[in-house]
């Protein structure tokens, strides 16, 4: 499945959430990561993020069956392309 993770967390937790997300997904824009995951990987990612955030934070996971059903229109500079090795 193809997952887009978007987060809005307190400044003191941004680095931690990004670090967790980058273990599973590709960073593509400030507070946005995306990539292919198995259901088990998604479950682990959600569990790790849940431990790192507070109730005032927000993290969204957009789950699609595959990247083939996703259309991305980008305006301006593209920071990173999913699939690139960091």
Q: Which token pair is 19? A: 């670090």
Query: 29, exposed or middle or buried, with CB in 10 Å at 0-12, 13-18, 19+?
Result: middle
With beta carbons less than 8 A apart as the criterion, state whether 24 and 49 touch: no
Annotated binding residue 8: yes
Binding-site positions for Mg(2+): 8
Binding-site positions: 8
């Amino acid at each position: 499945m193809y997952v887009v993770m978007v987060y809005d967390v307190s400044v003191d937790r941004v680095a931690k959430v990004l670090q967790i997300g980058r273990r599973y997904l590709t960073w593509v824009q400030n507070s946005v990561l995306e990539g292919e995951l198995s259901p088990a990987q998604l479950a682990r990612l959600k569990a790790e993020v849940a431990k790192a955030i507070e109730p005032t934070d927000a993290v969204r996971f957009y789950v699609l069956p595959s990247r083939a059903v996703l259309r991305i229109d980008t305006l301006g500079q593209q920071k990173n392309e999913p699939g690139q090795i960091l």
